[in-house]
Chain A
Amino acid sequence: MSALLEVEDLRVEFRTQDGIVRAVDGVSCSVDAGKTLAIVGGAGSGKTVASMALLGLTPGPCAHISGRVAFEGRDLLGLAGHELRSIRGEEIAMVVQDRSPSLHPFYKVGDQLIEAIVTHRQVSRAAARDRTIDLLELLGIPEPHHRVDQYPDELSPSMRQRTTIAMALANEPQLLVADDPTSGLDLTVQAEILELLKRVRERLGMAIIFVCRDLAVAAEIADDICVVYAGRIVERAPTELILESPQHPYTWALFKSAPQLGAPRDEELAPNPGRPPSLIHRPSGCLFHPRCPYVRDEHRRVDPALQPVAGQDGHEVACLLEPEARTRTWQELKAGARAR
């Protein structure tokens, strides 16, 4: 069965006065219908840029995108404007980060949802309004008939996030691209929204690309996980395999900074050492070597490619350390965590 969405060697570059910014540097992955793929990475990893490039939403006129993004066989990157627009919001929907507000501040919430519906379906405004109320209710928003006439700044952040998700689900898309839909929300709300997504996914048979920076959240919801760093995938595997035996030092760092993944309550959170990589002046050799605690001389010169992990089907990692060394180090880390 061919994948619903196949990304091949996606590259996104921004030409700026300070240099060429390689935000996404050769990402390849795929999602099957009804499955969930999580793209996990820290700040500056390029995950948001990649997710926006899928639907052609990369901002700014100075972006250069290359590669292939095949949705049901059609290359999205080569589509004409109106073809792409008929797919957006209908077959593929996106939830953008709520960093700079994702809901328009001047229009009522209900009107924004109605717009999402009416763009693709020939229904009366009244029918669209009913559907909007149903959607809000489905997403767990209390008093939907009241909320429909409110402005976004009258809603709490969790309700705003649910509304944005509702807007994406309005036309029952086959694929949902969700960029960090739970960041900034407190843990209980986070859990609620994840449950919501799982239920909706079940009902609609929807595939999800879930972008986030927290490995724990990704593990909750995804079938497969891709870990990205500096615009590249450094590790890729089904969720159970990554949880059981992560191979890349960056993945280990993500583990350590995720509070829920089985670490004892009183362990200190270990922030990742070093700073996010500059995407203009990239390190030589292995991109992670300036921050890697296990770096060796060779790593400064050789750039590793994704290699399959022996004995684990579907698990790939881009690391120069020997597999035995990695397994050993991971066991030590796990033991050390438990012992403390």
Chain B
Amino acid sequence: MTRYVIRRVLWVIVLLFGVISVTFVIFYLFPSGDPAVLRAGPHPTPQLLATIRHKLGLNKAWYVQYFDYLKALILHFDFGFSYQSHIAVRTQIFNRLPATVSLAVGAAVLSLITAITIGTIAALRRRSPLGCLATGGAVVAISAPVFWVGMISLYLFATDIGKLAILPGAGSYVPLTHNPGKWFASLIMPWCVLAAGFAAASARLMRSSLIETLGKGYVSTARAKGISERRVIVRHALRVAIAPVVTAAGLGIGVLLAAAILTETAFNIPGIGRLTYDSIQVGDLPTIQGTVLLGACLVVVAKLVVDVVYALIDPRARSR
């Protein structure tokens, strides 16, 4: 197991290099036009442009720029500087990280728990109305755009504009350390909205995976041993059925983060996603670059965690 973890960590390092390189290509080489002008903001004075050119080494060859970029990132954690807001991107990001983490992790946990429960019920009670409702509801849930669902829930439940004012509305987020109660209340709607689509997709997968597993030989063998049905389902069937769901969760983390951007925008939560949105609106390229890069790195690391969890479930994966 330890060998497996080490192998995965090495691979993650390779991937991180890949991510950094791709973001370099996207944000330095891809856009046409003068890179300095792009970063200078709405009022580019000649001095500002010169400063930027010097700072980013824009007159050097592209591979030199690439190495400088790498060096700055790895050694100094320097994600760049936003000339529009006059603040280091890193500072902005780390200020806003807790909000996004609260939102994303909470939604991930909620969706996994919901998905496993609903998926199992849908598989075991295939013919009952409950199972069919679950299956049908899941299809609808994955078809609805997350920002729209957010808006609808705000319209219905938000205390300021909602018809049934029961939950805090947009913009009411406070950090956990300030006021845990308010923090929790303000996140309930965003959590549900963000988790809904993800949970629905995972629930569908869980359902079909469990149905397929229940037809396998080892489930019959387990039953033939005289074990209780509950033990057969939990210890023998579920453990195998969950594996594809975990894999899909790993693949879906990137989607979750992207959806978090949309959710933060709809609910006005001061996280990295909202930062990305605002930066797009004002055209602040360095910040966008920084947030996308951070997001991508977080996803790669999160996938590592998911892979390790998967190896805990399926011992055969440890030798891969």
Contact = CB atoms under 8 A, between A and B. Distances in A.
Nearest to A104: B218
A135 to B, nearest CB: 14
A89 B218 contact: no
24 contacts: A52-B220, A59-B214, A60-B215, A81-B229, A85-B228, A89-B226, A94-B221, A96-B217, A96-B221, A96-B224, A97-B217, A98-B217, A102-B217, A103-B218, A104-B218, A105-B218, A105-B314, A106-B240, A106-B315, A115-B227, A116-B225, A153-B316, A167-B221, A167-B225
B105 to A, nearest CB: 27
Interface string A158-175: 000000100110000000
A106 B225 contact: no
A59 B220 contact: yes
A259 to B, nearest CB: 27
Given A85-B227, A87-B226, A102 B221 contact: yes
B126 A61 contact: yes
Contacts of B228: 82, 85
Nearest to A59: B215
A120 B127 CA distance: 33
B214 A100 contact: no
Main SS class of interface, A: loop
B223 interface: yes
Given A88-B224, A88-B225, A103-B221, 20 more contacts: A57-B220, A57-B223, A61-B126, A61-B127, A82-B228, A89-B225, A94-B224, A96-B221, A96-B224, A100-B218, A101-B216, A102-B217, A104-B222, A104-B240, A106-B315, A115-B227, A119-B226, A119-B227, A151-B316, A168-B224
Contacts of B316: 105-106, 151, 153
A316 interface: no
Nearest to A113: B225
B225 A115 contact: yes
Interface of B: 126-127, 214-218, 220-229, 236, 239-240, 313-316
A203 interface: no
Nearest to B218: A104
Interface string A65-104: 0000000000000000110011111100110111111111
Contacts of A87: 226
Contacts of A119: 225-227
Contacts of A317: none
Contacts of A100: 215-218
B243 to A, nearest CB: 9
A88 B226 contact: yes
Nearest to B232: A85
Nearest to B228: A85
Contacts of B223: 55, 57, 88
Contacts of A55: 223-224
B213 to A, nearest CB: 10
Contacts of A81: 229
A101 B227 contact: no
Contacts of A88: 223-226
A153 B225 CA distance: 21
Contacts of A168: 224
Contact of A85 (B126, B220, B226, B314): B226
Nearest to A86: B226
A262 to B, nearest CB: 34
Contacts of A52: 220
B220 A105 contact: no
Nearest to A87: B226
A192 to B, nearest CB: 22
A22 B64 CA distance: 74
Contacts of A104: 218, 221-222, 236, 240
A164 B218 CA distance: 10
Contacts of B226: 85-90, 119-120
A59 B229 CA distance: 13
Contacts of B214: 59
A318 B202 CA distance: 52
A96 B217 CA distance: 7
The 9 closest A-B pairs by CB, nearest first: A89-B226, A88-B226, A102-B217, A94-B224, A89-B225, A104-B218, A100-B216, A100-B217, A116-B225
A90 B226 CA distance: 8
B240 to A, nearest CB: 6
B315 A151 contact: yes
Contacts of A164: 221
Given A85-B227, A88-B223, A119-B226, A106 B217 contact: no
A153 B128 CA distance: 37
A170 to B, nearest CB: 8
